[in-house]
Amino acid sequence: MVKNRSEMISKFDEVLIKNFERFKDEKKNETNQLKSYIIENHVAHNSTPSHDSVAAFLQEIFKNQRKISIKLKETEDEQLFVIDSNVGEMYLDISQKRFWVLHASVKAKHSDLVHKIILKDRKIDNIWLPIPFLKGLKRFGDIYGMGISFTEYLKKDEMDDFLFPNQNTLNLDIRRLYVNQMLTLLETSDLKEVIGINKVTLLDSTIESQDFIVDDITYFGKITGRGTSFSKHHSIIQNILMNYSSKIINLEEKFSYSFDPNTHSLKGQPIEIHINRTNINLKKLVDTIFSGKKPYYLWGVPDWRDETYCRVNSVDLHSGNFGNSLEFEIMPNLIRVLLPKDSCGNTISRLLTNIHQSIDATSYFKEGAGEHEFFSII
């Protein structure tokens, strides 16, 4: 069993190098590729969860699992747990207060399952990366590839569900030489509203040392690495976390509503997500977002004022927003959200990201008139 962080790094370096050597010799990708999952947690709301509270929380989640046998084990590092299972070891890094990282090199179906088991608890969520954030990742390496998909919710008919259940309406995987050309072509086409970028492949290499990593970074925070350096993989994860946490904290501080007793005034401002796609069925839009089902996890009863304006008092089923309800105004080209004080900004990134993936890939949220898109990191 891995005893500390240094041993975990050495293990993953060995896995990466072995996989790379076999790929060079046999042109085969191994099934035990390095995978990391970034998780948002609210185990201790507004404070740093203790080692013991995290251990108790995880043990409660794992104790009744039937699909996989799991034992939580401690290491010499209080901020690193081993998730020991009948399919191999996985590792949970809790060194950051709000965001944990699950690392694994077991088969994807097993690590995906453990990730889903953790996410079943309402205190846990994915991180959600809107398209402007994914595009901005080129700050940290060379764009080596890009994935594009779109799941059409609003224009599906009964035949679609009958013939193609749970399938994307659009699915493309673009590699290296053609990424920028294809992206330019698609973004200037009539299809731009359904060009949902679902992943970016980033290459971080150092010519002098021959070390490199190629990371597939998905919009829901799963990162799959191939190459020779876990340290470079970890560096990319830290850059994602630094920028993402900064955006979420800024959103919560700048936009959430609160009453200032000293000035007898309200602080905060509404969050406005602009929709460019025309001819949207507003009823289907509202039903899709507020059904309480994944991926939006918002539940509310719509109050229709007329056919072009709806208000919804909603609850985030992931965290319950800590007892706060979210007020929405839905119009054909605008979704306005009032975020109460102490609510979770991850709700907004989840909403916008999934709008990009299934309603309008060109929708945007800006800090103010003429400002850059809020989630842009370039």
Tell which of 101, 126, 151 closes a domain: 126
350 within a domain of the structure (yes/no): yes
Tell which of 173, 200, 234 closes a domain: 234
244 within a domain of the structure (yes/no): no
Where b means 16+ CB within 10 Å and e means fewer, 38-69 reads bbbbbbeeeeebeeeebbebbeebbeeeeeee
Same domain as 121, residue 148: no
Same domain as 75, residue 32: yes
pLDDT of amino acid 147 = 95
Same domain as 169, residue 94: no
Same domain as 301, residue 347: yes
Residue 68: domain span: 5-126
241 within a domain of the structure (yes/no): no
Distance between CA atoms of residues 265 and 255, nearest Å: 14
378 within a domain of the structure (yes/no): no
CB 48 within 8 A of CB 40: no
Same domain as 93, residue 21: yes
Same domain as 201, residue 165: yes
pLDDT of amino acid 258 = 81
Same domain as 160, residue 74: no
247 within a domain of the structure (yes/no): no
Distance between CA atoms of residues 268 and 348, nearest Å: 15
374 within a domain of the structure (yes/no): no
pLDDT-derived band at 182, boundaries 50, 70, 90: confident
Top pLDDT among 252 and 370 is at 252
343 within a domain of the structure (yes/no): yes
| pLDDT above 70: residue 323 | no
Q: Which two tokens stand for residue 22?
A: 């076999």
Same domain as 115, residue 28: yes
Q: Which of 357, 347, 123 is nearest to 251 (CA)?
A: 347
pLDDT of amino acid 192 = 92
pLDDT digits (tens, 9 = 90+) for 3-48: 999 999 999 999 999 999 988 887 777 778 999 999 999 987 767 8
Same domain as 11, residue 79: yes
Q: Which of 267, 296, 269 is nearest to 357 (CA)?
A: 296
| CATH code (residue 333) | 3.30.160
Same domain as 148, residue 118: no
pLDDT digits (tens, 9 = 90+) for 186-234: 888 888 999 999 999 999 987 667 899 999 999 999 999 999 999 999 9
265 within a domain of the structure (yes/no): yes
Same domain as 267, residue 356: yes
| pLDDT above 90: residue 329 | yes
pLDDT of amino acid 225 = 96
Helix (H, G, I), strand (E, B) or coil at 331: strand
Tell which of 126, 149, 175 closes a domain: 126
Same domain as 305, residue 270: yes
pLDDT digits (tens, 9 = 90+) for 270-285: 999 999 999 899 999 9
